[in-house]
Amino acid sequence: MLEAIAFYGLAALILGFGVMVITARSAVHSVVFLVLNFLAVAVVYVVLGAEFLAVIQVLVYAGGIVVLYLFVVMLVNQKRTPEAHHDPHRKTGLGIMLASAVLAEVTAIVVYTASAPSASPIPVSSPVVGGNTEQVGWLLYTDYLIAFEVASMLLLAAMVGAILFARRMD
């Protein structure tokens, strides 16, 4: 009964912080409400008994992603109008070619894994895993390996883009 009350109370807090994120007038206040939202989600994970996910929630989202949001908010000059000219240094053809190559590679991986029923290098009779952290690790590196790698590539691209964007502002 106490867990249900805690869950519904935290759910109301999360919804309230979510509304405050999109209705805040200042972008910095919006990011602060987003941090509070992520922390409330971490508390929900603790109530549900998933302590590892709670720690990851705090470290990755409340720690890392929100810091990136704050850097973008502080680096972007919101008073300036968007640029109307085309950047002569932009390599649009190269970007399209690289994006097509990555799409072809991901498509080939998906087709190959769908056509080979047991092409997994991990033995089928893998040992029984105990503990929350070990189960998440086994799932990430077996069933969800492609999604994990795609997410890491997207985060790497976002990080490189943020660095290039920050260098142009100087």
Q: What is the CATH number of the domain that holds 67?
A: 1.20.120.1200
CB-CB contact of 142 with 118 (8 Å): no
Q: Same structural domain for residues 72 and 134?
A: no
Is residue 84, in this structure, part of any structural domain at all? no
Query: What pLDDT, on the 0 to 100 scale, is given for residue 14?
Result: 94
Q: State mean pLDDT over 139-163.
A: 86
**How far is the C-alpha of 160 from the C-alpha of 170, rounded, in Å?**
16
Kind and range of the H or E element at 41?
Answer: helix 27-47
Is residue 87, in this structure, part of any structural domain at all? no
Q: Same structural domain for residues 134 and 69?
A: no
To 10 degrees, the CA torsion angle through 7, 147, 158, 66? 10
Is residue 12, in this structure, part of any structural domain at all? yes
Q: Of 35, 54, 77, which closes a domain?
A: 77
Counting the structural domains of the chain, the total is 2
Higher pLDDT, 99 or 128: 99
Which CA distances in Å does 19 have to 22, 105, 113, 163? 6, 39, 41, 30
Measured at the alpha carbon of residue 106, what is the angle toward residues 57 and 112, in degrees to the nearest 5? Answer: 115
Backbone angles phi, psi at 84, to 5 degrees: -100, -10
Is residue 105, in this structure, part of any structural domain at all? no
CB-CB contact of 26 with 18 (8 Å): no
Give the range of the structural domain holding residue 27, as residue numbers without chain letter. Answer: 1-77
Q: And the tokens for 113? A: 């894994």
Query: What pLDDT, on the 0 to 100 scale, is given for residue 102?
Result: 87
Is residue 69, in this structure, part of any structural domain at all? yes
Burial class (CB in 10 A: 0-12, 13-18, 19+), 96: exposed
- Per-residue model confidence as pLDDT tens digits over 53-104: 888 888 888 788 777 777 777 776 556 565 555 666 777 788 889 889 989 9
Is residue 102, in this structure, part of any structural domain at all? no
Q: And the tokens for 128? A: 């029984």
Would the pLDDT of 126 be above 70? no
Higher pLDDT, 130 or 128: 130
Query: What pLDDT, on the 0 to 100 scale, is given for residue 40?
Result: 93
Which CA distances in Å does 76 have to 2, 95, 102? 45, 24, 29
Query: What pLDDT, on the 0 to 100 scale, is given for residue 119?
Result: 47
Is residue 109, in this structure, part of any structural domain at all? no
Q: Same structural domain for residues 63 and 135?
A: no
Would the pLDDT of 125 be above 60? no
Closest among 43, 5, 35 to 18, alpha carbons compared? 35
Query: What pLDDT, on the 0 to 100 scale, is given for residue 118?
Result: 59
Higher pLDDT, 17 or 125: 17
Q: Same structural domain for residues 139 and 72?
A: no
**How far is the C-alpha of 144 from the C-alpha of 136, rounded, in Å?**
10
Chain mean pLDDT for the chain = 80
Confidence category of residue 19, pLDDT binned at 50, 70, 90:
very high
Confidence category of residue 17, pLDDT binned at 50, 70, 90:
very high
Confidence category of residue 49, pLDDT binned at 50, 70, 90:
confident
